[in-house]
């Protein structure tokens, strides 16, 4: 009997030793939940229009950056993945909202292509917060975040939602609060709003419709804060955007199809930047045409792009990249009849209108603190610090935001 008792104790001891805590300090259950909120297309100066009292209250009780510099290209999917990996698009592989990969033949990635969005092969060049957290025993839940529908490295968030752009913003907030009501409360949650970006694209950044969209999202932030307070949950909230927005107009358009020899290229992506691949045997002809000086765009072979953009080494970046003059667009064909476009993003991150927003509040943050401009790769190490899980190697540095922490 004594030998049996010692055997049981030995098994318990070995089992206990085999569970190496992945957290940096306190256990996940001891930490306040972290809610990462993205308001797509929210420029930092939008918060000065008098339409966002709830977001401004978060900033007053916590931290606000003068601006956050997005990664190039300043597009939705590349920057959302940067925020949760700390890697620039050239390093995490989501190099554009539309892209191709020779290693994934016959397939093309696009925001609207659900088969591509859930295909882990597009995402597996990096590991986002929720994957590392789940591996470390921190429960996660994502209300719409690019990549969260795919089993990245075979892992999904414990709870996640299939993207539905028609799901009301009230329902999105309600789902977050519902997850927090569960006995197994998530330690990391994401919440995504696309209304401001949608209206900014359609009507332009300075339109009353865009300001109204900001007011609507601000009201939902108020609902979230009120819901947390009613539940006695002192969460850490990090509110970000992926990029800003600049006004565009139909007359400020470069038509690639009118400048390049027909049949010499494939048009991979357009907008603020265009990606072009030469047809077989046509590289010299395409280069001769596309590299000519143009008043409203700059084109280069991907290996010759400015080093400060940190872009062009990934195999998914097209052979030739053209970047439009701010406020101009690059199209590969005539725009659809009746289409309306008043705003655009994707330009050089140093263009002031491309600046993104950063606001944070909660028990981990100082009050009434304004941070200088920092790169959005610095958000990732902050998130990992807040959930108590060791960050993977990244392009970010918590020094960019450390002054806002208690």
| Residues tagged active-site | 76
Distance CA 125, CA 122 (A): 7
Burial (CB count <10 Å: 0-12, 13-18, 19+), residue 334: exposed
Q: Are 104 and 150 in contact (CB under 8 A)?
A: no
Q: How far is CA 171 from the centre of its chain?
A: 21
Are 140 and 134 in contact, with CB atoms under 8 Å apart? yes
The residue to which tokens 């795919």 are assigned: 150
* SS3 call for 128: coil
> Which run of H or E residues covers position 297?
strand 297-301
In terms of Cα–Cα distance, which of 110, 160, 109 is closest to 130? 160
Q: Which two tokens stand for residue 195?
A: 């209304």
3-state secondary structure 136-168: CCCCEEEECCCCCCCCECCECCCEECCCCCCCC
Backbone angles phi, psi at 288, to 5 degrees: -60, -35
Given the DSSP bridges, would you call strands 343-344 and 246-247 parallel, antiparallel or unpaired?
antiparallel
What is the rounded distance in angstroms from the CA atom of residue 261 to the CA atom of residue 280? 14
Helix (H) or strand (E) holding 238: strand 236-240
Please enumerate in sequence order all residues whose Cβ is within 8 A of that of 336, keeping only pairs 6 or more positions apart, or say none: none
Rounded Cα gap, residues 82 and 186, in angstroms: 22
Secondary structure class of 395 (helix, strand, coil): coil
């Amino acid at each position: 009997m004594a030998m049996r008792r010692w055997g049981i104790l030995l098994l318990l001891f070995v089992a206990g030793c085999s569970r190496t805590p992945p957290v940096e300090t306190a256990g996940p259950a001891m930490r306040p939940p972290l809610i990462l909120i993205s308001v797509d297309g929210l420029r930092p100066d939008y918060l000065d229009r008098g339409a966002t009292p709830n977001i401004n209250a978060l900033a007053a009780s916590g931290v606000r950056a003068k601006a956050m510099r997005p990664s190039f290209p300043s597009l939705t999917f590349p920057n959302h993945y940067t925020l949760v990996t700390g890697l620039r698009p050239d390093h995490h592989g989501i190099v554009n909202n539309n892209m191709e990969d020779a290693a994934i033949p016959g397939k093309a990635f696009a925001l609207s292509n659900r088969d591509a969005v859930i295909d882990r092969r597009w995402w597996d060049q990096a590991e986002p917060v929720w994957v590392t957290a789940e591996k470390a025993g921190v429960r996660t839940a994502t209300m719409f975040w690019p990549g969260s529908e795919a089993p990245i490295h075979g892992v999904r968030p414990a709870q996640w939602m299939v993207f539905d752009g028609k799901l009301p913003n009230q329902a999105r907030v309600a789902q977050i609060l519902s997850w927090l009501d569960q006995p197994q409360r998530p330690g990391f949650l994401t919440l995504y709003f696309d209304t401001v970006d949608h209206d900014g694209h359609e009507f332009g950044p300075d339109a009353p419709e865009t300001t109204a969209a900001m007011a609507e999202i601000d009201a939902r932030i108020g609902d979230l804060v009120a819901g947390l307070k009613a539940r006695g949950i002192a969460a850490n909230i990090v509110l970000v955007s992926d990029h800003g927005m600049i006004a565009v107009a139909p007359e400020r358009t470069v038509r690639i199809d009118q400048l390049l020899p027909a049949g010499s290229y494939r048009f991979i992506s357009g907008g603020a930047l265009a990606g072009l691949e030469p047809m077989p045997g046509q590289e010299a002809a395409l280069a001769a045409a596309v590299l000519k000086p143009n008043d409203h765009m700059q084109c280069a072979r991907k290996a010759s792009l400015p080093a400060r953009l940190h872009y062009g080494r990934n195999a998914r970046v097209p052979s030739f990249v053209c970047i439009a003059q701010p406020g101009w667009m690059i199209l590969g064909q005539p725009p659809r009849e009746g289409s309306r476009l008043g705003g655009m993003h994707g330009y050089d991150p140093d263009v002031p209108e491309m600046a993104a927003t950063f606001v944070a509040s909660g028990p981990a943050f100082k009050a009434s603190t304004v941070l200088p401009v920092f790169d959005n790769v610095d958000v990732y190490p902050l998130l990992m610090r807040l959930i108590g899980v060791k960050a993977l190697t990244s392009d970010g540095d918590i020094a960019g935001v450390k002054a806002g922490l208690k």
